[in-house]
Amino acid sequence: MRSIDEVNELLVAFNQCVLEGPARTISETEASTLRVGIDLGTSSIVIAVVDEAGLPVYGALEYAKAVRDGLVVDYIGAVTITRRLKAEAEAALGCSLTRAAAAVPPGTLGKNKDVVSHVLEGADFEVTAIYDEPTAAAKVLGLVNGAVVDVGGGTTGITIIKRSKVSYTVDEPTGGSHMTLVLSGSYGISQEEAETLKRDASQEREVYPLVRPVVEKMATISANALITGKYRKTGPVYVVGGATNFTEFADTFKKVVGREVIKPLYPEFVTPLGIALGSS
Ligand SMILES: Nc1ncnc2c1ncn2[C@@H]1O[C@H](COP(=O)(O)OP(=O)(O)OP(=O)(O)O)[C@@H](O)[C@H]1O
Ligand SMILES: [Mg+2]
């Protein structure tokens, strides 16, 4: 179990890599010990690189529409972006990256899971593992037993982890894009404008009251899922994913689920960082 301060320290370090470039230079001998994670998300594709000790050394992302609700809908697009992220990471770190892991929403099977491997292989990575997204998130949070709610672009995934394994999981088709639609409708603006408005922290006081009902709906669904999945009554819930970024998100969620709600810093980076931590 990691303390939330330790979790946040990791995420702050990763965010710094994303904003400012590599944390440090890498020697040729160290290159083979780096671990790489690729998160193919609905709203972006993220690359995360950590060192042998699990400390972030590099991070980058590209907004993309190559994946929808965890399924690759534009294979060539996904490969092209992953390839570019790899090349940029290699140039920045001054070494080659040969192996990587990825993740899929829990319950993704067969060809839908295979295609994620193929995207990595298409970008010249040897695939080390394909994780369940919440299992990857749990690695960052240091969770052995607990509940994770991942509110991404297209979906909200609610997962109960027991002894480091997924014991119950459900994916609900409500995510950040629904918040954008609500804002687009309310203000009579395009979805692109609504997306920008939604992410503008200086507008949050005005915008959040419109978004709150969506958060309450997600929280109600989560509360029911936690009961169905037999999560212990007093167990806390970790919320991750880009759409939890609103300052009031955890508070709204807590009021509905009636449990402690813990939101790490830079919640959109929890899953990608976890994928890298789990790679080898
Ligand atoms: N500062 C912010 N405020 C509000 N919403 C945000 C903010 N930053 C990102 N988002 C929203 O978070 C969502 C993307 O989250 P995330 O990066 O976790 O998704 P993803 O992994 O790409 O998608 P998924 O997990 O659904 O496949 C988008 O809907 C985006 O608009
Ligand atoms: Mg995601």
pLDDT tens per residue across span 206-225: 999 999 999 999 999 999 99
Domain assignment of residue 186, yes or no: yes
**CA–CA–CA angle 44, 125, 31 (5° rounding):** 100
Are the CB atoms for 74 and 65 separated by under 8 Å?
Answer: yes
Domain assignment of residue 227, yes or no: yes
Q: How many CB atoms lie within 10 A of CB 27?
A: 8
Domain assignment of residue 262, yes or no: yes
**Same-domain check for residues 144 and 259:** yes
Domain assignment of residue 184, yes or no: yes
**Same-domain check for residues 76 and 163:** no
Q: Say whether pLDDT at 108 is over 90.
A: no
Using a 6 Å cutoff on CB, does residue 42 contact ligand 1? yes
Residue 154 has what DSSP assignment?
S
Q: Determine the pLDDT at residue 70.
A: 77
Quick one: 208 exposed, middle or buried, by C-beta within 10 A (0-12, 13-18, 19+)? middle
Q: Determine the pLDDT at residue 201.
A: 95
What is the rounded CA–CA span in Å between residue 90 and residue 58? 10
Q: How many domains does the chain contain in total? A: 2
Domain assignment of residue 273, yes or no: no
Q: Say whether pLDDT at 109 is over 90.
A: no
**Could you tell me the pLDDT band of residue 23, with boundaries at 50, 70 and 90?**
confident
Residue of 18, 40, 210, 268 to mutate, ligand 1, most atoms within 8 A of C-beta = 268
Q: Determine the pLDDT at residue 138.
A: 93
- Domain final residue pick, 133, 168, 195: 133
Percent of the chain residues topping a pLDDT of 70 = 100
With H, G, I as helix, E, B as strand and everything else as coil, classify residue 119: helix
Domain containing residue 49: CATH number: 3.30.420.40
Q: Determine the pLDDT at residue 209.
A: 98
- Domain final residue pick, 107, 133, 159: 133
Using a 6 Å cutoff on CB, does residue 105 contact ligand 1? no
Residue with tokens 């939604």: 198
Are the CB atoms for 259 and 252 separated by under 8 Å?
Answer: no
Q: What are phi and psi of 254, to 5 degrees?
A: -60, -45
pLDDT digits (tens, 9 = 90+) for 227-263: 999 999 999 999 999 999 999 999 999 999 999 999 9
**Could you tell me the pLDDT band of residue 24, with boundaries at 50, 70 and 90?**
confident
Tally of CA atoms within 13 A in the half-sphere of 60 that contains its CB: 19
**Could you tell me the pLDDT band of residue 204, with boundaries at 50, 70 and 90?**
very high
pLDDT digits (tens, 9 = 90+) for 146-183: 999 999 998 899 999 999 889 999 988 889 999 999 99
- Domain final residue pick, 133, 152, 182: 133
CA of 152 to the centre of ligand 2 (A): 5
Mean pLDDT of the chain: 95
Domain assignment of residue 198, yes or no: yes
Contact residues for 153 (Cβ-Cβ < 8 A; gap 6+): 41, 42, 43, 175, 176, 177, 242, 243
Q: Say whether pLDDT at 54 is over 90.
A: yes
Domain assignment of residue 279, yes or no: no
Domain carrying residue 205: 140-268
Please report which residue ranges of 58-175 form alpha helices under DSSP H: 75-93, 110-122, 133-141
Alpha carbon separation from 65 to 71, 125, 130, 137 (Å, rounded): 11, 21, 21, 22
Nearest-atom number in ligand 1 for the CA of 179 is: 29
Domain assignment of residue 96, yes or no: yes
Using a 6 Å cutoff on CB, does residue 240 contact ligand 1? no
Q: Quick one: average pLDDT of 106-134?
A: 94
Q: Determine the pLDDT at residue 212.
A: 97
